[in-house]
Copies of this chain bind each other. A is one copy, B any other.
Amino acid sequence: MGTPAVVLLSGGLDSTTVLAIAKDRGFDPYALSFRYGQRHVVELEAARRVADTQGVKRHVVADIDLRVFGGSSLTADIDVPKHDSAAELTDHDIPSTYVPARNTIFLSFALAYAETVGAQDIFIGVNALDYSGYPDCRPEYIAAFETMANLATKAGVGGSSLKIHTPLIEMTKAQIVRAGTALGVDYGLTSSCYDPSASGEPCGRCDSCLLRLKGFEEAGLNDPLAYQAA
């Protein structure tokens, strides 16, 4: 039996790679996904497929409703921005797809889950390079969360310590795709699109699709997903 670890699993390329890395490092993964009012619920179906096939100890889907606050195109009725190529994504302005405090809320739930299953390790697929300008993907943010978490919990009181693992934080999308492929990840199970069709086909033109496609291209690998016709 391995050491338990909570793995935040959206069902996208990054978190699916993180799950494979956690397993490769000998952890027993307890996967955690969220139904948070996101428009792209096909992501959750991808998370279930990944959890089912990659062998997790348990998969919890927590219901939270960030729509009560409004404020983002991922949860409200604002159009998802579309582009013709990844070249348009070079500036690091905070995009309208930013969800207020999302990673903080996700990590807080992961902390509760970790404490319940006796885990001292949490894995999250944040990425500071291809990060599209989200402030809560920066290394200094993760370090501050870890400090806070160790003061928040029973574990912190007892002197043992909780660790937030961010194996992708300094990897390019191409490096992520290569690492996951080396570990046997089937990226055909994953879903990255901010605005997929009803049947789950990715748009190929939102920030997330463009970064993904660029990653596969730079890695010299084929993305197994079937994209919507332009």
Contact = CB atoms under 8 A, between A and B. Distances in A.
A147 B149 contact: no
A230 interface: no
A63 to B, nearest CB: 5
A91 interface: no
Interface residues of A, number: 44
A100 interface: yes
A101 B112 contact: yes
Contact of A157 (B60, B64, B108, B135): B135
A140 interface: yes
Question: Which of A60, A70, A147 has the most chain B CB atoms inside 10 A of its CB?
Answer: A147
Interface in A136-176: 136, 138, 140-141, 144-145, 147-149, 151-154, 156-157
A116 interface: yes
| Count of this chain's copies in the oligomeric assembly | 2
B112 A100 contact: yes
Nearest to A149: B104
A47 to B, nearest CB: 14
Contacts of A145: 148, 152
Contacts of A135: 151-154, 156-157
A31 interface: no
A68 B64 contact: no
Contacts of A149: 101, 104
Contacts of A101: 108-109, 111-112, 115, 149, 152-153
A148 B136 CA distance: 9
A216 interface: no
A104 B100 contact: no
A161 to B, nearest CB: 13
A191 interface: no
Interface of A: 60-66, 68-71, 94, 98-105, 107-109, 111-113, 115-116, 135-136, 138, 140-141, 144-145, 147-149, 151-154, 156-157
